Structure 1
Amino acid sequence: MKYISTRGGGEPLSYTEALLEGLARDGGLAVPETMPRVEPETLERWRALTYPQLATEVLGLFATDIPRDDLARMTAAAYAAFPSEVVPLRSIGDGLTLVGLSEGPTLAFKDMAMQFLGQVLEYALARTGAVLNVLGATSGDTGSAAEHALRGKDRISVFMLSPRGRMSAFQRAQMFSLDDENIHNIAIDGVFDDCQNLVKQLAGDIAFKQANHLGAVNSINLARITAQSVYYFWAWLRATDAGGPREVSFTVPSGNFGNVLSGFYAKRMGLPIRRLVLATNENNVLDEFFRTGVYRPRTAAETLATSSPSMDISKASNLERFIFELVGRDPQLVVQAWTELDEQGFFDASADQPRFAGEFGLVSGTSTHDDRIQTIRQVHAAAGDIIDPHTADGVKVAREHVEPSVPMLVLETAKPQKFAETIREALGVDLEYAPDVRAMLDAPQHVTEMADDARALRAFIEAAALRGATVGETAVGADRHDS
């Protein structure tokens, strides 16, 4: 299996090569040269597998350059910190089932891919003798999941950008309380899209990228997308009966289009998915696109701060991978669409919009703050479950797309403890924290605040980046301060 760029440049890469490169050199994203297929009889054979075993099978279709025994060892290590079931399913009434994706160390679905990514990055770097300086952006959960997966690793340093003041107190504490030498938290004066733009700007500078060994762990990294596709297979296997394919639908709270893209890939691989329902919050650029076919990202000033902050995104990086499929995998048409986006602030795919729900099974909806509060109350009253605000966005939109005899599975995004203020508003309760969580919340926080300035970020990375291929060869960067 080889990987090509959505924009057509460069030579095809292996899985580990694409993993280490992150953003392609032509500014595009890595995609499989051909999508692997899973036959119905293979799905049936997978029913008895544990989650790590299933991950080995699914990821083995993508990571063909990694020996199967090595891959099995990495998946076992990646999910060792999870409960034995790893991804539990539970009914919440109204024909909806939650897919529990927040059982990992940072209590969010990002752990599902990031724990594997930590394993495979370390493996790939050990094989090559190289180092990697990870440059990422987070709207909340990606940063903590990445840092907890990569902290203390000798060949990796992490530079994580976050929008100053835009995350929950819990999300900030999970990141900023870390004091490992290889973790660098940078709070940018702006919104998530500003952080993401800085990442793309530096990653697109090939000379700077090579000189500073830059890589990515955002969902632009294909390993994240492939690892996330595993739980779609897992959930389908537990929501259906043996004996033959039966369609289910998934609702996915989405900001950067990475999680729902993983489901789209699973569907393209042959998993019997009827609908992929994309749920947005008030920053509903993606909902507008899937309803109208016009993609019009908002400016930073137009991007709202909401009570589901991890979805406060207006420029969805992974949409490019969907557009690549939409235009028949023609990289010239992808470049044309993004050129139009740069020049006029939007591109128009309305002629293809009927294919979204038809050929691709993709539909969408929007949820507001009032919807989230009401949904949290309703789920708690009906099922005794407390769900986080992003999952509430998913539940609200899922209810609008339930079909008779088609199971509707809603992907849980995080534990409610990460968003205590919203839970208090909805239910009037203060959630209890374990002693170790309380200690984290009370710990000193280490973060560098920075303007939305590519030159300042370049200087910071050049001072603190790992150099060469020598393990543990770190330099001290710009001074952190406690906040």
Structure 2
Amino acid sequence: EYQLARTNRELNILGATSGDTGSAAEYAMRGKKGVRVFMLSPAGKMSAFQRAQMYSLQDPNIFNIAIEGLFDDCQDIVKAVSEDLEYKARQKIGTVNSINWGRISAQVVYYFNAYLRTAEKIGDPVSFAVPSGNFGNVLAGHIARQMGLPIRKLIVATNENNVLDEFFKTGVYRPRKSAETYITSSPSMDISKASNFERFVYDLLGRDPKALKALWQDLAANGQFDLSEDPRFKRVEEDFGFQSGSSNHQNRLDTIKEVFARTGTLIDTHTADAVKVARDLVEPGVPMVILETALAVKFAETIEEATGQTPPVPAQFLGIEKLPQRVVEMPISVEQVKTFIAENTGL
């Protein structure tokens, strides 16, 4: 607010969310002068609590747009708008969430913080398991490791939408089409095309921009690319410490139930995916830190199915699902989103 006012500018933030980071951005920016937030989300694909947390905001500078598609469609629209440089400049567009480098760089700090609280002494190895959809959080871990943090393994945990797991196991990257993308009980990971994966592959290819461009042209032409025979693929685990695994609905139920019975803690469905995968890959003597995704209450139906327990609701969110909701539904259309933004900015 201060910087915008000082320079007599406005900022229109455009983002896409699969359920969690969108509401974080909206709550951070609600009521801020000189800032508007236009947040795209997949219509009907988030939990009722997630929808209520976002759509119940009545602040005039917050605009929720439910796209009649999947998260990947929302993300594609954001990228298309951002690639129209003339429109972006005219509408003063900025971005949030996974595709914003600022978000990635901030998350690097979490790994250092967690490491210092976990390792018995500096230099001891620690592994991290990360629920992964758009690859932003685990990319931050990759960057922390490159900065010298003694991370032994970075475990990429996926749900039934196992595009990333398939790549780290086989070298084949094959984003699924909409009809092949599952709607799961860990919906924030119902993602096929992970934005930040391109940033990792850039490192994997020795930071060769021409090689990266060629791969993504191959992806656009053929729907996949294959590095299984490329000697650089060995670097995934040998140099960068990546391993992966996937989880399904029954795995989530079993893990949530077991963790609650053993510790009395209710974990959400995405965290359960990471716990399940981490258990298969944990090494004796190396601590494994699980990165938690969200409060269990956001996915109460699955938590109750697993444990018979109703997750507690934070006081500030009591009754949130009964509040009026403010959201505009749209088809998968870049032009309609552009028009909506222009109509609500006056620019």
Find 2:99's aligned residue among 198, 220, 224. 220
1:125 Cα deviation (Å)? 3.6
Tell me which amino acid in the other structure corresponds to 1:453. Answer: S
Find 2:287's aligned residue among 399, 407, 430. 407
Higher helix share: 2
Range 389-398 or range 353-362, more displaced: 353-362
Contact 2:204 2:233 in 1 (8 A): no
* Equivalence for 1:304: 182
Contact 1:133 1:466 in 2 (8 A): no
Range 307-316 or range 324-333, more displaced: 324-333
Tell me which amino acid in the other structure corresponds to 2:234. Answer: P
* Residue 145 of structure 2 corresponds to residue 250 of structure 1: no
* Equivalence for 1:136: 15
Contact 1:156 1:182 in 2 (8 A): yes
- For 1:125 and 1:258, locate their aligned partners in 2 and report how far apart those are by CA, in whole Å: 27
Tell me which amino acid in the other structure corresponds to 1:239. Answer: T
Find 2:42's aligned residue among 163, 182, 190. 163
In the TM superposition, what are the counterparts of 1:298-377 in structure 2 within 5 Å? 298-350=176-228, 351=230, 352-377=232-257
- For 2:264 and 2:42, locate their aligned partners in 1 and report how far apart those are by CA, in whole Å: 34
CA RMSD of the aligned region, Å? 1.3
Find 1:174's aligned residue among 29, 43, 53. 53
Aligned length: 345
* Equivalence for 2:162: 284
Tell me which amino acid in the other structure corresponds to 2:195. Answer: S
1:245 Cα deviation (Å)? 1.0
Tell me which amino acid in the other structure corresponds to 1:424. Answer: E
* Equivalence for 2:27: 148
1:429 Cα deviation (Å)? 1.8
1:349 Cα deviation (Å)? 1.9
In the TM superposition, what are the counterparts of 1:27-66 in structure 2 within 5 Å? none
- For 2:2 and 2:175, locate their aligned partners in 1 and report how far apart those are by CA, in whole Å: 37
- For 1:309 and 1:124, locate their aligned partners in 2 and report how far apart those are by CA, in whole Å: 36
- For 2:311 and 2:131, locate their aligned partners in 1 and report how far apart those are by CA, in whole Å: 23
- For 1:282 and 1:395, locate their aligned partners in 2 and report how far apart those are by CA, in whole Å: 15
SS at match of 1:139: coil
Contact 1:250 1:411 in 2 (8 A): yes
1:339 Cα deviation (Å)? 0.9
Deviations 1:408-437 (CA, angstroms, capped at 9, x unpaired): 110011110111000010011222324531
Contact 1:189 1:449 in 2 (8 A): yes
* Equivalence for 1:473: none
* Equivalence for 1:114: none
Give the TM-score taking structure 2 as reference length: 0.97
SS at match of 2:137: helix
Tell me which amino acid in the other structure corresponds to 2:183. Answer: A
- For 1:408 and 1:375, locate their aligned partners in 2 and report how far apart those are by CA, in whole Å: 16
- For 1:334 and 1:130, locate their aligned partners in 2 and report how far apart those are by CA, in whole Å: 36
* Equivalence for 2:332: 452
Tell me which amino acid in the other structure corresponds to 1:281. Answer: N
Tell me which amino acid in the other structure corresponds to 2:97. Answer: N
Deviations 1:461-480 (CA, angstroms, capped at 9, x unpaired): 1111264xxxxxxxxxxxxx
1:367 Cα deviation (Å)? 0.4
Give the TM-score taking structure 1 as reference length: 0.70
Contact 1:236 1:248 in 2 (8 A): yes
> What stretches of structure 1 of length at least 5 have no aligned partner?
1-121, 468-483
In the TM superposition, what are the counterparts of 1:95-244 in structure 2 within 5 Å? 122=1, 125-126=4-5, 128-242=7-121, 244=122
- For 2:296 and 2:266, locate their aligned partners in 1 and report how far apart those are by CA, in whole Å: 7
Tell me which amino acid in the other structure corresponds to 2:83. Answer: G
1:249 Cα deviation (Å)? 0.2
* Equivalence for 1:443: 323
Contact 1:292 1:353 in 2 (8 A): no
- For 1:127 and 1:273, locate their aligned partners in 2 and report how far apart those are by CA, in whole Å: 42
SS at match of 1:219: helix
SS at match of 2:39: strand
The 4+ residue runs of structure 1 with deviation greater than 6 A are none
- For 1:464 and 1:187, locate their aligned partners in 2 and report how far apart those are by CA, in whole Å: 16
SS at match of 2:179: coil
SS at match of 2:178: coil
- For 2:3 and 2:158, locate their aligned partners in 1 and report how far apart those are by CA, in whole Å: 35
* Equivalence for 1:378: 258
SS at match of 1:357: helix
